[in-house]
Amino acid sequence: MIIVLKKGATKEEKENIINKIESLGLSVHVSEGKERTIIGAIGDESILRERPINSMPGVESVMPILKPFKLVSREFQKEDSIINISGDEIGGNKIQIIAGPCSVEDKESLLTTAKDVAKTGTAFLRGGAFKPRTSPYSFQGLGEEGLKYLKEAKEATGMRIVTELMDPRDLDVIYKYADVIQIGARNMQNFRLLKEVGGMDKPVLLKRGLSATIKEFLMSAEYIASEGNRQIILCERGIRTFETEMRNTLDVSVIPAIKRLSHLPVVIDPSHAVGRWDLVSAVSKAAIAAGADGLLIEVHCDPLNALCDGSQSLKPNKFAKLYEELKRIAKAVDRSL
């Protein structure tokens, strides 16, 4: 249920409404918009139907949220969410690029790649220290050693760090190094993990599961938001279909579809969507044209010898060329890069 306050409602009136909702055993989430303040009452809505909340001073209207996902819905918040990460915003007019190797393999290759990526003006460096792999015999990442290399890369370039959390037991060590914590596709419905990052004060990049519907994707985001963390970035990376030419199937219509349903920013991972470096450029351009707030692109200084996903990684010079091309696409849709 959402309670829309009158324009000019006093602080005392707002606090009285919040206290009333909490006294009924419901959770309260406040959204301060440009024109109106909305108070979300999360829980058993039948309780509110039996109480005259709409007659309290300062209340303009009371209405149900029809979507099963409440806090991340457009019904709850009309304005787009903008996630501020140490001065760099995701969800605003500026389109952000998150680039780097799939996994942190060694210090030298990471620093080489990071420095080349930083030359383009890219603000975010991606790199996995803990890697979920299909085969237990594949490279699983360097763990905290890899996180330390990411920290060195950040100090050398000034880029923010995006890295994946797989296990709640690694939460504290990831928290120390990451600016944005990624929840990978395989963990999209690991609800215990979602609740853990929901209790944190760091942005979360949530990837869509391999076979998840949009509704299931947004319900996973709701798990995070319901624990208090509203700094959520949705990442579409393609889903599994009958098609075998590409690694996954990316439907760019998911961008406007999610933006119609939710206020959260949406970024696209073209590298995992296609699984081939030669298709990354075209898909990246299509995503920007369709309204994506950012891109997650794999870049490696030596893709042929990469320990993870080398076939879908761009060399730094190809990434730099793509970055310049994306600037023109961004300008055409009245945005910046």
* 247-259 pLDDT per residue, tens: 999 999 999 999 9
Q: Compute the mean pLDDT over every residue in the chain, rounded to the nearest whole number.
A: 92
**pLDDT over 90 at 48, yes or no:** no
**85 bridge partner residues:** 88
Residue of 186, 273, 277, 184 whose CA lies nearest to 237:
273
Q: How does DSSP classify residue 165?
A: -
C-alpha–C-alpha distance, residues 50 and 20, integer Å: 13
Q: What is the pLDDT of residues 261-314, one digit of tens each?
A: 999 999 999 999 999 999 999 999 999 999 999 999 999 999 998 888 889 999
pLDDT at 334: 97
- pLDDT (average), residues 161-190: 95
- pLDDT (average), residues 60-64: 83
Out of 106-115, 136-145, 271-280, 319-328, least confident range: 136-145
pLDDT at 306: 86
- pLDDT (average), residues 32-55: 76
**pLDDT over 70 at 50, yes or no:** no
C-alpha–C-alpha distance, residues 220 and 201, integer Å: 18
Helix 107-118 and helix 316-332, axial crossing angle in degrees, nearest 10: 30
Q: What is the pLDDT of residues 13-23, one digit of tens each?
A: 999 989 988 88
**pLDDT over 70 at 133, yes or no:** no
Residue 291 in contact with residue 108, Cβ under 8 Å?
A: no
Q: Tokens at residue 64, please?
A: 């149900």
Q: Which domains occur in the chain, in start order?
A: 2-63 (3.30.70.1140), 83-332 (3.20.20.70)
Out of 55-69, 79-93, 192-206, 244-258, least confident range: 55-69
Say what percent of the chain tops pLDDT 90: 69
Out of 8-17, 82-91, 121-130, least confident range: 8-17
Helix (H, G, I), strand (E, B) or coil at 233: strand
**38 bridge partner residues:** 4, 31
- pLDDT (average), residues 193-200: 96
Helix (H, G, I), strand (E, B) or coil at 224: helix
pLDDT at 139: 66
pLDDT band at 76 (very low <50, low <70, confident <90, very high): confident
- pLDDT (average), residues 141-145: 85
**pLDDT over 90 at 138, yes or no:** no
Residue of 247, 269, 261 whose CA lies nearest to 214:
261
pLDDT at 278: 96
Say what percent of the chain tops pLDDT 70: 96
pLDDT at 33: 73
C-alpha–C-alpha distance, residues 292 and 239, integer Å: 17
pLDDT at 137: 60
Q: Which residue has the higher pLDDT, 46 or 214?
A: 214
Q: Tokens at residue 93, please?
A: 């007019």
